[in-house]
Amino acid sequence: MSENIYAPPTAELTETVKASAEFYVISKTKLLVLSLLSFGLYTYIWSYKNWSLYKKANQLDIWPLARAIFFIFFIHQLYRRADDRIARSGRKFDFDFEQWATVFVVVTVGARLFEMAAGRIDTWLAYKPLAILAVPLCAYILQQGQGLINFAAGDPEGQSNARFNLWNYLVIVLGAVMWCLTLLGLWAIYHR
């Protein structure tokens, strides 16, 4: 305590603002497993988490839920913002995000269109189950883009979110069962 009772306080009174995470960090392996075994449904969660963190970190007036539901319209923008973050930090990440995002959109939309066409064109009906091949392809493409997001967040390997939790294991078990049933059904269709 100071002898001078009129001296200004010497304690630090300003609050230090902790920077919140701007992007959703997840290891590429974990993302691949969850995307693949959830038949691509994890993509919606992944997109929502990325946009909600981005909204919070930048105090923007955006709707993360809408961007998650319509993720194919916003994946380019997400990758672009991650790339901008890397550029602002003075780092460089060699990744053609525009190309990968475009391939993701084309495969996603193309698989859906193929599935719809195969359902309406009788001669294509036997090929309708092949649309399931888009699931592992989209999971792989998404995994490649996660490297950019992890690098932008300062965790290139995604080690802060590499371990599977109880919910992840539930997805893995249910997904493995569903994939087994799907593949068994496909085998039964083509081996009559």
Give whole-number Cα distances, 176 to 18, 46, 135, in Å: 40, 20, 14
Give the dihedral of Cα atoms 161, 162, 163, 166; nearest 10 deg: 60
pLDDT tens, position by position, 130-154:
788 899 999 999 999 999 999 999 9
Q: What is the pLDDT of residue 13?
A: 57
Q: For the residues 91-117, what does the mean pLDDT come to?
A: 92
pLDDT band, very low/low/confident/very high, at 43 (cuts 50, 70, 90): very high
- pTM to 2 decimals? 0.83
Residue type, 120: R
pLDDT tens, position by position, 74-88:
999 999 999 999 999
Query: Looking at the predicted structure, is the pLDDT value of residue 192 above 90?
Result: no
Element (H, E) at 63: none
pLDDT tens, position by position, 8-22:
777 665 554 455 689
